[in-house]
Chain A
Amino acid sequence: MQRPLIVMFLAALAAMPAANAAPRDDILAGYAAQAKADDAAFGGFSATRGEALYRDRHGGGKPDTSSCTSCHGDKTRAAGRTPVGKAIDPVAVSVAPTRYTEPAKVEKWFRRNCREVLGRECTAREKGDWLAFMMTQ
């Protein structure tokens, strides 16, 4: 009874370095399935569209936070800042490998921040595009 547990434990340890990528891939796969359900012509996520979502000034949300860069900053690998003045850790995966690994956290902030900037929730395609962009950063 004990041995299989130990083997599983060792296997889990061995898998640790990849542990951050797997949940992120699952999150991305979930968005892909939803994007496909929303639009049968969906042909995959685009880092280019993700960058536009990140940098563009949008209407519909709050005037003083009209872009994702209003808080996350122009440089994805540098710290951002909230309107209250608190620092935000960078959003680029290369410097923040633990980001986009907790589905509930990712969803909560997409919901809040898309409403804040766009005045509506982001679509699954937009969320996947953002992740695709951040994974190139």
Chain B
Amino acid sequence: MTTVIRSIVVGAVLFAAGAVMLSRAKAGSDEFFPPVTDPLTRQECGGCHMAFPAGLLPARSWQKVMGELDNHFGDDASVDAATARQINTYLMAHAADSAGNGGMHRWLRGVSAAAAPQRITELPKWVREHREVARSDWTRKEVASKANCVACHVDAERGYFEDD
């Protein structure tokens, strides 16, 4: 191998490693949750509220949500069987405790392995992150619900939930 080729190869490897580390760092923080990329899930789960990133709940929670769509927090959010299967597959594969999401276990701290909470807004970590949010912020007219993340996190649709 000539030196030139060797340095190109080394450079490429370093670059790739850097990219992996960068995406790890992002996935491991509490600020970035990759947005839903599956168009069907975006469409079917984004009509009444934002399509919540799959990394905000563990797989067992998504399974429960998907199993009870005909009575979804009092609403009928049911879809046909083939659609449900595709959404379920997507959500399970990208859930907080899925294999590709190593860094996100922290988000599930305090959730018992036996529990399958359907609400993101009842996870201990979510409650802790919002403990200091003023009461007057929750009652603002555009907020309407705790589940309306976008009202406060303007970049939530792109996956960013930093303090703002």
Query: Footprint of B on A, CB under 8 Å?
Result: 62, 81-86, 108, 111-112, 115-116
Contact = CB atoms under 8 A, between A and B. Distances in A.
Interface of B: 46-50, 74-77, 79, 142-145, 147-148, 150-151
Contact of B148 (A84, A108, A115, A116): A84
Top 3 closest pairs, chain A to chain B, by CB: A85-B144, A85-B148, A84-B49
Nearest to B77: A112
Contact of A115 (B48, B50, B76): B76
Contacts, number: 37
Chain B interface, >50% SS class: loop
10 contacts: A81-B144, A82-B47, A82-B48, A82-B49, A83-B144, A85-B142, A85-B145, A86-B47, A86-B150, A112-B77
A86 B76 contact: no
B23 to A, nearest CB: 29
A86 B50 contact: yes
B13 to A, nearest CB: 44
Contacts of B79: 108
A111 B47 CA distance: 15
Nearest to B80: A104
A62 B74 CA distance: 9
The winner among B48, B50, B79, B142 for most chain A CB atoms within 10 A is B48
A62 B46 CA distance: 22
Contacts of B77: 112
